[in-house]
Amino acid sequence: MKMNVLVVDDTLINVTLLSHLIAKLEDCESIGYTDPAAALAWCGDHVPDLVLLDYMMPGLDGIEFLRRFREIPGRADIPVLMVTANDQIEVRHQALEAGANDFLTKPIDKTEFSARMRNMLALRASRRRLEEQNLILSDEKELLEDIVTRMRSSSSFDTLGVRHIQKSLERTAGDLVLSARRPDGAHHVLVGDFSGHGLTAAFGAPLVSWIFYHLTAEARDLGYIIEELNRTLSRQLPTQIYMAAGALELSPGRRQARLWNCGLPPLLCLSAADEPLQVKSNGLPLGIVESAGDSAPHAELDMTSDARVYLYTDGLTEAESPDGELFGQARLAELVVRIHRERSALETVWMELDAYCAGQGLSDDAVLVEISV
């Protein structure tokens, strides 16, 4: 593919001379303009590979042309070679600030011209190849995101007594929420937070989702499912990918709850009659060590009609204020207690965090789940 060079000079003989020199370069052709305004209009519909631009032109001079050229979408990285008879340092500073990449001083030396042109066109060719590769990678990433999203979505999610909110930094989040009931009526809920961000972190989610729903349908208890998840993740995924998890199993009558916390922030258990209970992490995240100990629950409690259990990921506690202070566990616990007491919408969390972050948004994926009887 030929490289196209835009030549802009108000003197026709200069355009002709430069175009003649360009024609001697391999795989290169020129487009010449003596009217800088017309050249700028051409740039709105075409993308040159390089611009040869005269500094001194009446009306629209080289500096103003360059500023406007850089403002056109997709033209910020196009190399521009400024041609000038003025070699004062102030002129070069002004041109560099406007976005010029290099200079040629009139009268033009043919050998220097050829060398600079080849260097800049080689740089442009490399950038163009990189842009093409990035487009391919972007298309492939979008396809993978679509596959992962389809694989992790499930119509099996059981909404009985479950409210949840979720925010993701990317289309494929590293956080997930799963909910299903066993054939005997016991209810399983799991919140997972994969290490890392983006597509890499999300790849384990379809595997976790399939195991969780498949084994719940087989009437396996949640402790067994957690063991199987840990075993499978440690065997199938790279060591740097693992999943912090919080899980709850409600008995068939929804009167007793068993809880596990493997690397998540403290789970919160609230009721009107009792003081808030925090179930802190008592196990490694799943997928780090294949033999992670027994599957006994980390806490058990009776569930009254007003009881609520809250599972969440650290994207909430790690939200930062403008001065870098974390929202923290204490603030989140106070907020959740207030939501529980006032029976507020879970979306209150987003409003509080948005105010705390001064509109800057979260720095990690975040999930909050409320389970009631």
Q: Model confidence over 325-369: pLDDT tens digits?
A: 999 999 999 999 999 988 899 999 999 999 999 888 888 888 999
Question: In the prediction, which pLDDT does 155 show?
Answer: 60
Question: In the prediction, which pLDDT does 136 show?
Answer: 76
**Span 119-136, mean pLDDT?**
83
What does residue 326 show for φ and ψ, rounded to 5 degrees?
A: -75, 150
Question: In the prediction, which pLDDT does 8 show?
Answer: 94
Question: In the prediction, which pLDDT does 198 show?
Answer: 64
Measure the CA–CA gap between 3 and 128, rounded to whole angstroms: 11
Q: Give the number of C-alpha atoms closer than 13 A to the C-alpha of residue 1, restricted to the C-beta side.
A: 11
The CATH architecture that domain 154-372 belongs to is 4-Layer Sandwich (3.60)
Higher pLDDT, 245 or 155: 245
Question: In the prediction, which pLDDT does 150 show?
Answer: 61
8 A C-beta contact, residue 257 and residue 238: no
What percent of the chain is predicted at pLDDT more than 90?
52
Asked: is 3-134 a CATH 3.40.50.2300 domain? The reply is: yes
Residues linked to residue 262 through DSSP beta bridges, in sequence order: 245
Report field, pTM of the whole predicted structure over 0.75: no
What does residue 176 show for φ and ψ, rounded to 5 degrees?
A: -145, 155
Please determine, for residue 307, whether its predicted confidence score (pLDDT) is greater than 60. Answer: yes
Please determine, for residue 29, whether its predicted confidence score (pLDDT) is greater than 80. Answer: yes
Count of H helices and E strands in the chain?
Answer: 11, 15
Tell me which residue of 262, 97, 293, 114 sits closest to 193, measured CA to CA: 262
Question: In the prediction, which pLDDT does 229 show?
Answer: 94
**Span 220-234, mean pLDDT?**
94
Beta strands in the chain (DSSP E): 3-8, 28-33, 50-54, 80-84, 102-105, 162-167, 175-181, 187-194, 243-250, 256-262, 267-270, 277-279, 299-302, 308-312, 366-372
Confidence of residue 153 (pLDDT cuts 50, 70, 90): low
Phi-psi category of residue 30: left, alpha or beta, with phi > 0 → left and psi -120 to 50 → alpha: beta
**Span 181-196, mean pLDDT?**
93
Domain ranges for the chain = 3-134, 154-372
Mean pLDDT of the chain: 87
Please determine, for residue 91, whether its predicted confidence score (pLDDT) is greater than 90. Answer: no
Lowest mean pLDDT, pick from 31-40, 172-181, 196-205, 302-311: 196-205
Using DSSP, state whether 19 is helix, strand or coil: helix
Token output for 306: 């007003």
8 A C-beta contact, residue 266 and residue 280: yes
Beta strands in 148-291 (DSSP E): 162-167, 175-181, 187-194, 243-250, 256-262, 267-270, 277-279
- Tokens 């207690």 belong to 337
What percent of the chain is predicted at pLDDT more than 70?
91
- Tokens 């199993």 belong to 249
Beta strands in 9-145 (DSSP E): 28-33, 50-54, 80-84, 102-105
Token output for 38: 């017309």
Question: In the prediction, which pLDDT does 15 show?
Answer: 92
